[in-house]
Amino acid sequence: MKIRFTQSGGFVGLVKHADLDTDALSADDSKHLAELVQSSGLSASEQKLSAQGRDLEQYEIHLDDGSRKTSVVFDAKTVPASVKPLVGYLRKLARPKM
């Protein structure tokens, strides 16, 4: 599975990015990431952004498991509770985009 994550916005406006391929990760990391994706319930592409928050962080997640591609966009107010663990994990791996 390939995952592309982008975090943008916020007060500073810093863009952070992570490209992950479960085939390139250790077995434990690959399994953990797959479990986070599974428990997130992300199965269809969607975009949910809050009308009130211009300075909120925005999260884009693109999933490609070979047979299906899913793209979602949330901000800090609209990210579903089931997706928060996945976003938290991806935020830890994301680095500033150059």
pLDDT in tens, 25-53: 999 999 999 999 999 999 899 999 888 77
Q: How many domains would you assign to the chain?
A: 1
- 65 with 35: CB under 8 angstroms? no
3-class DSSP assignment, residue 43:
coil
Integer Cα distance of 8 and 60 in angstroms: 8
- 96 with 77: CB under 8 angstroms? no
Confidence tier at 97 by pLDDT (50, 70, 90): confident
Query: What is the phi/psi pair of residue 44, to 5°?
Result: -140, 150
Residue ranges making up the domain that contains 81? 2-96
